[in-house]
């Protein structure tokens, strides 16, 4: 076999559908985790510098503690889906080999079919989870859009007092008054700062990454479902080939036996 034929054979065994889904998954997770982490850090800066929100001295569940928890969740998501993408890619390689060669492959065994069904169930659960993450990520995008809209209206309307109150979004308790208004320089400083613009765009990118991860999960579901159907057909074909080979062997044995009997009778 020449070098070109060997390369063609290797390229024909690559599961391109799983490869595209894996690239999309990694891109979406990287975008969500990286931009989400930096956006949360920018949120902390904005709350401390412009809204004068301070961290609670006791171990209470305040907004800063929730942000720290979300950062650790982001670390876990990045690590978990990095491993999960590798597992799905390996599963795709096994499936491609099983479809091209019906005999002696892992995927067409009972254990292989159980692993494939388990991946389908996990991918469906992860798709629902990413839908929830996408909906949750849209909340800070909506909040920062309101801040941006307040900044735009504050510059267009003269003599009108516009305020942005954190109590409207449940960030602080109702007993605390944490707001900035157009008659205060803090709102204009915040609107002109790089932190607000950068944090807003980072949350938008994180939302786009979560949406890409959802698309990747849907793509994986289609690939896994198609692989499952191919594997079932491969199993049936293998059983048919085994039965056919067994029958041909029996016919050959019967024919050989009769030939020997005729030869003995003639002798």
User: What DSSP letter does each residue of 63-90 carry, written as one string?
Assistant: HHHHHHHHHHHHHHHHHHHHHHHHHHHH
166-188 pLDDT, tens digit per residue, is 877 777 777 777 777 777 777 78
Calculate the dihedral angle through the C-alpha atoms of 58, 60, 66, 69, rounding to the nearest 10 degrees. 70
- How far apart are alpha carbons 214 and 216 in whole angstroms? 5
CB count in 10 Å sphere of residue 181: 14
Range of 58-62, 163-167, 240-244 with top mean pLDDT:
163-167
How many CA atoms, within 13 angstroms, populate the side-chain half-sphere of residue 236?
Answer: 5
Is the confidence at residue 1, as pLDDT, over 60?
no
Interval 51-65 mean pLDDT: 78
CB count in 10 Å sphere of residue 119: 21
- How far apart are alpha carbons 15 and 97 in whole angstroms? 9
Note the pLDDT of residue 39.
94
- How far apart are alpha carbons 47 and 262 in whole angstroms? 100
How many CA atoms, within 13 angstroms, populate the side-chain half-sphere of residue 127?
Answer: 15
Interval 128-132 mean pLDDT: 96
Q: How confident is the model at residue 74 (pLDDT cuts 50, 70, 90)?
A: very high
The model's pTM: 0.79
- How far apart are alpha carbons 163 and 157 in whole angstroms? 13
- How far apart are alpha carbons 119 and 60 in whole angstroms? 39
Is the confidence at residue 6, as pLDDT, over 80?
no
Helix (H, G, I), strand (E, B) or coil at 59: coil
Report the Cα 13 to chain-centroid distance in Å: 24
Regarding predicted confidence, which is higher, 254 or 195? 195
């Amino acid at each position: 076999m020449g070098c070109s034929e060997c390369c063609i054979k290797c390229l024909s065994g690559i599961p391109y559908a799983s490869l595209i889904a894996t690239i999309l998954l990694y891109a979406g997770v990287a975008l969500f985790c990286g931009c989400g982490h930096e956006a949360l850090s920018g949120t902390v800066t904005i709350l401390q510098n412009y809204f004068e929100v301070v961290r609670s001295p006791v171990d209470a569940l305040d907004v800063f503690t929730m942000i720290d928890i979300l950062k650790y969740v982001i670390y876990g998501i990045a690590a978990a889906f990095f491993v999960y993408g590798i597992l799905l890619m390996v599963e795709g390689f096994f499936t491609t080999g099983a479809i091209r060669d019906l005999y002696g492959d892992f995927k067409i065994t009972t254990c292989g079919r159980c692993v494939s069904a388990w991946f389908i169930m996990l991918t469906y659960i992860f798709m629902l989870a990413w839908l929830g993450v996408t909906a949750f990520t849209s909340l800070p995008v909506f909040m920062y859009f309101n801040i941006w809209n307040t900044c735009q209206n504050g510059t267009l309307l003269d003599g009108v007092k516009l305020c942005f109150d954190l109590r409207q979004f449940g960030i602080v308790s109702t007993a605390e008054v944490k707001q900035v208004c157009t008659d205060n320089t803090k709102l204009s400083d915040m609107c002109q700062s790089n932190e607000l613009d950068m944090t807003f765009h980072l949350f938008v990118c994180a939302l786009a990454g979560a949406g890409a991860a959802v698309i990747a999960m849907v793509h994986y579901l289609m690939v896994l479902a198609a692989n499952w159907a191919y594997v079932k057909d491969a199993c049936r074909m293998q059983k048919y080939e085994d039965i056919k080979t067994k029958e041909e062997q029996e016919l050959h044995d019967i024919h050989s036996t009769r030939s020997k009997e005729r030869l003995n009778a003639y002798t």
